[in-house]
Chain A
Amino acid sequence: MDLRDRLAEAARGHGVPGAAVAVWHDGELHEAATGVLNTVTGVEATTDSVFQVGSTTKVWTAALVMQLVADGLVKLDKPVGTYLPDFAFGGVTVRQLLSHTAGFDGDVFEDTGRGDDCLEKFLGHLGTAGRVHEPGELFSYCNAGYCVLGALVARLRGGTWEQAVRERLLDPLGATQAALFGEEAALFRVSAGHIGPDATVYPRWQMPRSNGPAGATMCLAPRELVAFGRTLAAGGLAPNGKRLLPEESVAAMLTPQVHVPGGGGALAERWGLGVELFGWGAYGHDGGTPGQSTYWRIVPEADFVLAMSGNGGSFAGLIADVARPVIEEATGLTVPGPPLPPQVLEPVDGAPYAGSYQGPQLGYEVAAAEDGLDVTLIPGPLMESMGATRSTTRYARLDGESFIAVEAEDGRHDVVTFVLRDGRAAYLHNGRAVARV
């Protein structure tokens, strides 16, 4: 079955309004698109269409930072405050921001406006962000850290983060199907996000510019992510022969920096400088904005890159039915699927885990239960504003200190992992570390 039929069938089956995929394999680019970009307008998705690529943007921001390092303007292990004296957590290093180990609240999505001063204002706003863990202590996914890195790029390059992305990455890469602003996206067929079971068009097309460097604003056709992936696989040399990054910079990005507690499920087992490093032999990143999702994997050994975007429905279904089988057939590797709860539940000693955990954006109550743990999510104001409510879920032991929700929600079983200190859980980890109180 060819790529187009496969994508079309999977999108139909999983309620995805529109999707596009690009695959580099055997020295050739294969592309397919299906469905519509927006269920209200009915404009058809094409391989030229641009989708919001969400947090895959973090790898672009990381590349801009590595260019600063290569140019001698930034040292990875210097405190960020050396370069941004007005940054509230100035003691953390550039490396810690790149590897999500800085330890301040990463889920700050303050909208500081459309102006070129948005990142400067965002930096000022971070003075109110909460502390989650000690710098360098452990991995905790940090969006706001990438906004700080964007501000670093903007200030040291003397322009905006968008100018740097455009002039230092997109243009040399020869990327044409790329937009960083709405007024740029208006040149293309452009995807809108769809949410909920009825795939309703999300009322706000774009997230705030202040979160751009973390993934709020960039729109790409999948082929441009493939070109960037090929660039990383080639040690920084773009397919058109232009050098975006020195080889040693890319090598540093791909060098494991930190282990991800409970990694191997929704997130990779390890993180490099901006890049997710998957144990099965690939690297890349995932991305999501309200109602849009992107999956991006590079398999360097096989000269293989895949980028896929969708705009609603079950993107996990699209990964299962398109991305994973295509990667497996092309590379011979086995791509693990999302974890499932064990068939037989075993008794759990809840004592090390039971207690209260509180982060800046949410809290948990964990209690011992029959054959597992009862985990109660207590959403903070931001999560509540997005529809989250207090709820208790039964988790069974998955592996080690990782526990998996017995029941699936939206087609997936949530996983939480406890980080133990002296035999007792110090953090509940869901991708972000949430400290015990």
Chain B
Amino acid sequence: MAGAMGQRLAELIAQYEVPGSALAYWHQGELHEFAAGTLNVDTGVEATTDALYQIGSITKVWTATLIMQQVEQGRLTLDTPVIEVLPEFKVADPEATKNTTIRHLLSHTSGIDGDQFIDTGRGDDCVEKYVAACATLAQNHPLGVTQSYCNSGFVFAGRVLERLTGKRWDDVLREGICEPLGLTHTWTLPEDVLRFRAAMGHEDGKTVPVWGLMRSVGPAGLICARPADVVAFGRAHLGGDLLRDPSAMWEPQVDIPNPYTLGKQWGIGWILDEWSGHRVISHGGNTIGQHAMLWVVPDTGTVVCVTANGGKSGAFTRAVATELFAELDGLTVPPSPTPPETPVDVDVRPYAGVYERAGSRITLSVDDDGGARVRLEATGELASLHEPQEADFVPVEENLFVFRPPGAGDWLAAVFFDLADGTRYMHMGARATPRIS
């Protein structure tokens, strides 16, 4: 497929209703770049390999790398409590306030509610203000006991960088990564992005109402880049250009309770998985109508980044990875769980209830004949951007269910587990959500 990827990418975007996409990969010493479709269905501007896409949470690996640079310089350690660098740091739980470490932040194990999208303005003080606005943030789970995806933790990490360097996160990024790697097509602020072709997000085939997220969550997800720059960043983790020991970031920090979605473990910033016996380090990103993925296979040196500005983008990037890695490295991407061919007999009732954390409510209801439905609602500042979704909730085995929200290409897995204190959790979309009723 590799040689014909240009043609194949065009076919795949059509199949998955993606308006525009770009793909870059490094394989056996060569960079390959492809693009297909349009950046914006309203303007009709053609997608090119130089266009900038919002890479969303892939940014977290960049922020983690910047922290590791500070660690290598001896400015702090992974086990330094956040409060030691940021004396003003405070969340609702006194234990988390006192004992949350940099390691907790970078491995999503702090338990602090992660989906606080607080808009603290466009100014250079936005990250500082964000941290100040988190004093009442509750816990998804007690500090350190499991893994739950935490955007706010990476904003805290961004503020740690600002405090250590006396610079804006945007500038720390520029000086720590973009300039040393010579990345010309990687920017954070829209006024910089606008010198280039820039993708617009789409939902249901239409452009989304706003281009990007609030600046305050920058360190967790506001990089815009062309895929070739993201591939260059990935390659730098296989050498010494950014860190003396980048493999320290692949050390497993925590098992992901639901290993069927992103990977099996979390490292420092990176998600860790194993495909056909090879370690794969990766991260994805989702913003408003845009999606991107980065995969790095240290054994083979292959690095792939693919972007999409709408459509069934998750299923699309999975399809690209499945075809491309089979072709390039003979690797099999583990398929995501699907409903069993023969329905299994699992009593759904013990799982039913309302599961809630900041920004999200998941309601699992059981109807009279034992069938289950799941309802997903955004709450808080992003509520207006996302319609509630409902889907059938299909058991695969005890503690494992799958469902497919309307418009999604892939089945999503939900895993149930109990903490030592007896609280039941649903782990889905990388987040642990406690049952509250």
Contact = CB atoms under 8 A, between A and B. Distances in A.
Interface of A: 38, 40-41, 43, 46, 48, 113-118, 181-190, 192, 201, 203-206, 209
Contacts of B124: 113-115
B198 A186 contact: yes
A181 B190 contact: yes
A41 B196 contact: yes
B198 A189 contact: no
A185 B122 contact: no
B4 interface: no
B211 interface: yes
B123 A116 contact: yes
25 contacts: A38-B195, A41-B48, A43-B197, A46-B43, A48-B43, A114-B122, A114-B215, A115-B121, A116-B123, A118-B123, A181-B122, A182-B191, A182-B193, A183-B190, A185-B194, A186-B193, A186-B198, A187-B207, A188-B43, A189-B45, A192-B195, A201-B195, A205-B194, A205-B195, A209-B122
Given A43-B45, A187-B200, A187-B207, A182 B189 contact: yes
B192 interface: yes
B212 interface: yes
A241 to B, nearest CB: 26
A187 B190 CA distance: 11
Contacts of B48: 41
Interface string B138-171: 0000000000000000000000000000000000
Contacts of A118: 123
A185 to B, nearest CB: 6
A183 B123 contact: no
Interface in B170-214: 189-198, 200, 207, 210-212
Interface of B: 40, 42-43, 45, 48, 50, 121-126, 189-198, 200, 207, 210-212, 215
Nearest to B122: A114
Nearest to A204: B191
A41 B39 CA distance: 13
B162 to A, nearest CB: 15
B195 A115 contact: no
Contacts, number: 72
A114 B189 CA distance: 10
A140 B196 CA distance: 37
A269 B158 CA distance: 54
Nearest to B224: A186
A209 B215 CA distance: 16
Contacts of A204: 191
B207 to A, nearest CB: 7
Contacts of A188: 42-43
Which among A38, A41, A184, A186 has the greatest number of chain B C-beta atoms within 10 A?
A186
Contacts of A185: 190, 194
B121 A116 contact: yes
Contacts of B211: 183-184, 186-187
Nearest to A121: B123
Contacts of B200: 186-187
Contacts of A38: 195
Contacts of A40: 195-196
A81 to B, nearest CB: 27
Nearest to A41: B197
B43 A206 contact: no
Contact of B122 (A46, A115, A189, A205): A115
B122 A186 contact: no
B47 to A, nearest CB: 11
Shortest beta-carbon contacts, A-B, top 9? A115-B123, A182-B190, A182-B191, A186-B211, A206-B191, A114-B122, A183-B190, A205-B194, A41-B197
A43 B195 CA distance: 11
Contacts of B191: 182, 204-206
Contacts of A187: 40, 42, 200, 207, 211
B201 to A, nearest CB: 10
A41 B50 contact: yes
Contacts of A183: 190, 210-212
A165 to B, nearest CB: 16
A209 B122 CA distance: 11
Contacts of B212: 183, 186
B125 A206 contact: no
B194 A206 contact: yes
Contact of B192 (A113, A117, A189, A205): A205
Which among B45, B198, B200 has the greatest number of chain A C-beta atoms within 10 A?
B45
A41 B50 CA distance: 8
A113 B215 CA distance: 13
Nearest to B39: A43
A181 B211 CA distance: 11
Contacts of B196: 40-41
Nearest to B124: A113
Contacts of A182: 189-191, 193-194
A38 B194 CA distance: 10
Contacts of A189: 43, 45
Contacts of B50: 41
A204 B124 CA distance: 17
Contacts of A114: 122-124, 189, 215
A383 to B, nearest CB: 24
A31 to B, nearest CB: 16
Contacts of A186: 190, 193-194, 198, 200, 211-212
A185 B40 CA distance: 13
Which among A181, A184, A189 has the greatest number of chain B C-beta atoms within 10 A?
A189
Contact of A115 (B125, B189, B193, B207): B125
A43 B42 CA distance: 14
Contacts of A115: 121-126
A74 B194 CA distance: 38
Nearest to A37: B45
A216 to B, nearest CB: 11
A188 B211 CA distance: 10
B286 to A, nearest CB: 18
A204 B207 CA distance: 27
